[in-house]
Amino acid sequence: MTHEKKARLLAAIGAAIVRLLIATLRFRITDHARVLATPPEKPLVWAFWHNRLFVAPYLFEHFFSGRRGAALASASKDGEIIAAFMHRFGIRPIRGSSSRGGARALVEMKRAFDAGFDLGITPDGPRGPRYSLNPGVVKLAQVTAGTILPLRIRYSRFWRLKTWDGFMIPMPFAIVEITLDTLIRVSATADEAAFEAERVRVERLLHPPEGDERAKPPGGPRDSRAVAGDPPATS
């Protein structure tokens, strides 16, 4: 079996497992951005933290079926599986890396945006630190003149993996609270200092609110434990 066929098979199995679990979940959506009520004509840059990625492809497929979406997938062999998984949910993979060959990935994402695709971004990916905004997200919003849609995802019960991001997998029959938060417009910047100030501003707007994992604003130590009442983390 070729690597490509193996990747497609693994992606099909993974997508089936994800769909089975998602079928048991209950979703509650709050649309502060009003993008469900009045879908914008211009593409959006979706931003959600890496550890909330589990339900994101389904959300796009189920609630935004009338829009086209794209997201970055590594150009590595492992990325082939991720790319095939994205296809299962109707998301176009853009092969590249924000950490290796980032300029090329930025160009490809801009092309997709200009072609009318919403872009899915994990601002702290691919390697963190957790809840730290990658400068590439701000640069992407600047070069596309795009608007960032903060996608906040919270599970009533979940397992937490022992990964750099504390990846969360919702338990069966959990409640999934989705908040489509107020749109963020990123300003153009003239120098490095202004760019960093804009990055920090956007990071603060995207950061989990107080009470969500006992998160603290950027710039101070963060407590990554689950909120009181959540199950203990397991691997």
Q: Whole-angstrom Cα distance, residue 104 to residue 102? A: 5
Q: Maximum distance among all alpha carbons in the chain?
A: 52
pLDDT on residue 213? 52
pLDDT on residue 221? 37
- Is residue 72 classed as helix, strand or coil in its secondary structure? strand
* Residue 209, pLDDT above cutoff 60: no
* Residue 216, pLDDT above cutoff 50: no
Helices (H), the chain: 3-22, 56-63, 77-88, 102-114, 135-144, 192-206
Contacting residues for 75 by C-beta, under 8 A, at least 6 apart? 95, 96, 97, 100, 101
Amino acid at 214: R
Q: Whole-angstrom Cα distance, residue 66 to residue 57? A: 14
C-alpha of 134 from chain center: 12
Q: What is the pLDDT of residues 154-170, one digit of tens each?
A: 999 999 999 999 999 99
Question: Angle at which helices 192-206 and 135-144 pack, to 10 degrees?
Answer: 100
Q: At 50, list the tokens.
A: 């890496």
pLDDT on residue 80? 87
Q: What is the pLDDT of residues 126-165, one digit of tens each?
A: 788 899 998 988 999 999 999 999 999 999 999 999 999 9
Contacting residues for 219 by C-beta, under 8 A, at least 6 apart? none
* Residue 224, pLDDT above cutoff 60: no
CB atoms under 10 Å from CB of 4, counted, come to 11
Please, which pLDDT band fits residue 100 given cuts at 50, 70 and 90?
Answer: low
Amino acid at 72: L
